[in-house]
Amino acid sequence: MAFWGIFAGIICIVAIIGLGVIRSSQKMKLERIRSELESQGKNGAEINERLDSIGYHIPAQLTPVLIGAAVLSFMLGAFNQIFFYAEPGYIYHVRTITGEEKVVSDVGYNVYLFGRYNAWKRSMTVQALAGRSETLDAESDRTDASATLPPLNIMFLDQVDADAEATVRFSIPEDEENFLRLTHEYRSPTNLLRTALMPAFKETLQATASLMSAEEYYSGSRSEFNTEFENQMNSGIYIVRREEVMKPTGRKVKSTANAALGEHQEDYGDETKVTFEVNKVRNDDGQPLRKVQKFTNFGIAVLDARVTDMRPNSKFVERMQLKQKASADRAIAREQRIQEEEQRLLAIAKGEREVAERQAQAKVEQIQRTTEAETEKQLALTNAQKLREQAEIAKETAQIELEKARIEAETQRTLADAEAYQKEVILKADNALAQKLQAEIDIQKTWADAFARRAVPTNVFGGGNGSGAPTGSDTEVKAFMQLLTLDAAKRLSYSREINTK
């Protein structure tokens, strides 16, 4: 911008000089024509008209305009040589014409006084992306990446190569001391990217790949790989040692050369396999040794480090596909075996359930029968207890009744004894005449009642001389009554004592 301002000022000065020369030549030519016309006897009006028709004149206002443009161009060029505008997101290394160095990080116009300044991005990015060639963009805002690389071909521990895509973002130091040391060492952002950041990016990515096998990476260690990559970008690359390790296989290996032995083959081999492991070298304190990243000495920090994609070679992909198929087949076989085992367990469970149901049913019946028997037993015991209690009550009642009867009998006997004694006293007084008379009266009442109820025939046939009267006649009854009276009198004459003693 300053160059073009000065260049415009020089052009304006050249234009002013050219205009002066042209005006001088035109003025000389017009004077020559005027002198020729005057020699021809032309008057002043004709001469002026002829000169105006020629048109050799330049506006007088053009010279001040050119002079103003030249001054403005020089001022603009001088301004751009004295001041520059600091963009956001950049740090500037400024060297003035007096040799002074300073760091500018504020946004806006700053003085560099006909010196130089370099713009450094606050954050630089190194990317390895598919479909990109190696490009650098250290001082432009046209892309997000400061350096773009094609995918890096790395080698895993098991000698499997892969194309890796990764991104690392670096932070430039903002303090004056580290930033000036950085600018003195690398001079420009492009040199920093080419000689420090990009080599560290490539070396760290390859060193991280050497810590594990490709099979481990694709078997679930991707996050571990990303973590180790970021860790080594920040703190340094691990110093490692590749060691050969003998590991037991854990299974018996037998020879099959002798068919006569059948299944009883001879053992062979040491039942071990050789593997290679990468172990970190450690110091006396047990801490792993690291190769320090050189850019950290200048205060450059890693803001972010990510491995975004990893594409192994086609042979490894085929091998992984075969392994995946074998794993899938094993999984299917395992599922089938589990299914068969589940079917077997289901059959066993069904049988056990049926047995349990039968046992439970039998147990229920047994419990029911036992309960019923126990109930019957309890009922029988209750009934027996009831009967026993009833018997005891009846016994007690009988005893009470017996005692009552005994008491009543004693009472009756006492009353009878009293009555008998009374009767005995009465009988002894008149020989029981009153009783005897009452007995005779009762007898006579009986006979009289019987006589009154006798059946009398309607017609009685008999002799008239009083002999041979028919049975049932009044005379017969009368005679019978007389006999009874005699008999009663006779009986009244003898003693009928109850106690003859």
Residue pair 497/424 in contact (Cβ under 8 Å)? The answer is no
List Cα–Cα distances, 73 to 70, 85, 114, 213, in angstroms: 5, 19, 16, 66
For residue 12, name the pLDDT band (cuts at 50, 70, 90): low
List Cα–Cα distances, 72 to 7, 19, 60, 64, 472, in angstroms: 12, 19, 20, 12, 201
Place of tokens 């996050």: 223
Give the span between the Cα atoms of 246 and 447, in whole angstroms. 152
Backbone angles phi, psi at 171, to 5 degrees: -110, 125
Task: Provide the terminal-to-terminal Cα distance of the chain, rounded to the nearest Å.
Answer: 187
Mean pLDDT in residue range 482-486: 70
Torsion of CA 288, 290, 296, 298, to 10 degrees: 120
Give the span between the Cα atoms of 74 and 83, in whole angstroms. 14
- The pTM (predicted TM-score) of the whole model is 0.50
Higher per-residue pLDDT: 255 or 44: 44
Task: Give tens-digit pLDDT for 411-449.
Answer: 888 888 887 777 777 766 666 667 777 777 877 787 777
Place of tokens 């479909």: 131
Give the span between the Cα atoms of 310 and 161, in whole angstroms. 10
Alpha carbon 470 to chain centroid, angstroms = 138
The one-character DSSP state at 406 is H
Return the top range by mean pLDDT from 188-192, 388-392, 448-452: 188-192
Backbone angles phi, psi at 262, to 5 degrees: 65, -130
Give the span between the Cα atoms of 415 and 407, in whole angstroms. 12
Q: Which residues pair with 307 in a beta bridge?
A: 166
Query: Residue 116 has what pLDDT?
Result: 75
Give the span between the Cα atoms of 440 and 298, in whole angstroms. 171
Task: Give tens-digit pLDDT for 53-100.
Answer: 665 455 555 556 555 655 565 555 555 566 667 778 788 878 877 777
Return the top range by mean pLDDT from 127-131, 167-171, 187-191, 490-494: 167-171
